[in-house]
């Protein structure tokens, strides 16, 4: 199944009024923040679904891994649920991967929405299971804050099937390297992608992929270490383009910036490189990127990402 692009499945569109399940595959969420997020989902026009497992707490994770996996699968296989959204990141998503059988997930394809620690799930779904997913807002601090935390237009387009043909060109995007390329958009938080290497769930994208890479609070030398690890593992050799996120908190005061580190590590990369796409960890509203779909990266007068395929049907 791994990297089997020809058999990629896309779930149905998520229409207004659809039931969206809130799941907690990583760290526990505060009840007050969950309530704000449920109100945010209602304001977006969806019916939120959740159970007590969403609020489970076992130290720094939201309950035992087997329980988190069971809750995820219950929501995934519920025929009345159209999509799943993570309550928050933190830590723990990789622990549930052994329970997420690709055949079982492909039998009832759904959209999963998340970022940060849930990169482990996004990678499993898109690279190994042949599904699409959304690198988009979670409940905590995003949907709970709604307009202040979410770029609503890109989220709605990704859910409802209005993304194809759109140029996504936030004003913050800069060009590190000129060019134009296309491929499947895959990726997520750099630390999680690196942590997957050497496991059965490794991030090893198909040749010609467009990589989206983002992180937060990683000092330049740590970012250099992780990007170098991806380079030595051959991940960049399989990429046609690279799009970086905002990388907030990744600069050293008076020293190297994350942008300079990225430019240095990718100095021999043959393809376009963009910097500053505000998806994932970002200080402003989070833009939703569809993963597992074909996109084009352009670096002309208006640099950005053109979505050639929908994540939904």
CA-based end-to-end distance of the chain: 21
Beta bridge mates, 124: none
| 93 is a catalytic site residue | no
Beta bridge mates, 49: 21
With H, G, I as helix, E, B as strand and everything else as coil, classify residue 209.
strand
CB 188 within 8 A of CB 212: yes
How far is residue 102's CA from residue 134's CA, in Å, rounded to a whole number? Answer: 18
Please name the residue that has the structure tokens 């998520």: 14
Q: Which residues contact 11 (CB under 8 A, 6 or more apart)?
A: 82, 83, 109, 110, 111, 131, 132, 311, 312, 313
How far is residue 311's CA from residue 294's CA, in Å, rounded to a whole number? Answer: 9
| 214 is a catalytic site residue | yes
CB 281 within 8 A of CB 140: no
| 281 is a catalytic site residue | yes
From the list 26, 151, 281, 309, the catalytic residue is 281
Beta bridge mates, 48: 20
How are the residues of the chain apportioned to helix, strand and coil, as percentages rounded to the nearest 5?
Answer: 35, 20, 45
CB 215 within 8 A of CB 245: yes
How far is residue 255's CA from residue 243's CA, in Å, rounded to a whole number? Answer: 23
The dihedral formed by the CA atoms of 28, 31, 35 and 36, expressed in degrees to the nearest 10: -70
From the list 26, 27, 87, 116, the catalytic residue is 116
The torsion angles phi and psi of 304, rounded to 5 degrees, stand at 175, -160
From the list 82, 128, 151, 214, the catalytic residue is 214
How far is residue 308's CA from residue 313's CA, in Å, rounded to a whole number? Answer: 13
Active site residues: 116, 214, 281
């Amino acid at each position: 199944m791994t990297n089997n692009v020809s058999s990629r499945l896309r779930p149905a569109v998520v229409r207004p009024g659809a039931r969206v399940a809130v799941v907690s595959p990583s760290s526990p969420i505060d009840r007050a923040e969950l309530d704000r997020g449920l109100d945010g989902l209602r304001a977006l026009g969806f019916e939120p679904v959740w159970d007590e497992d969403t609020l489970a707490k076992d130290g720094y994770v939201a309950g035992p891994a087997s329980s988190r996996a069971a809750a995820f699968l219950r929501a995934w296989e519920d025929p009345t649920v159209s999509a799943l959204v993570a309550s928050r990141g933190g830590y723990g998503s990789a622990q549930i991967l052994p329970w997420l059988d690709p055949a079982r997930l492909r039998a009832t394809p759904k959209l999963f929405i998340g970022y940060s620690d849930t990169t482990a799930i996004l990678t499993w779904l898109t690279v190994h299971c042949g599904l699409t997913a959304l690198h988009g807002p979670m409940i905590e601090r995003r949907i709970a804050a709604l307009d202040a935390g979410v770029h609503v237009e890109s989220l709605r387009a990704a859910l409802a099937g209005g993304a194809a043909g759109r140029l996504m060109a936030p004003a913050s995007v800069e060009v590190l390297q000129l060019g134009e390329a296309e491929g499947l958009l895959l990726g997520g938080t750099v630390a999680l992608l690196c942590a997957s290497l050497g496991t059965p769930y490794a991030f090893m994208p198909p040749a010609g992929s467009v990589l989206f890479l983002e992180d937060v609070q990683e000092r330049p030398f740590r970012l250099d270490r992780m990007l170098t690890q991806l380079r030595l593992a051959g991940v960049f050799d399989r990429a046609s383009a690279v799009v970086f996120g905002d990388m907030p908190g990744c600069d050293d005061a008076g020293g190297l910036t994350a942008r300079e580190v990225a430019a240095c590590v990718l100095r021999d990369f043959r393809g376009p490189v963009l910097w500053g796409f505000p998806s994932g960890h970002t200080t402003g509203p989070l833009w939703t990127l569809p993963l597992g779909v074909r996109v084009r990266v352009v670096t002309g007068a208006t640099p950005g990402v053109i979505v050639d395929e929908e994540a939904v049907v």
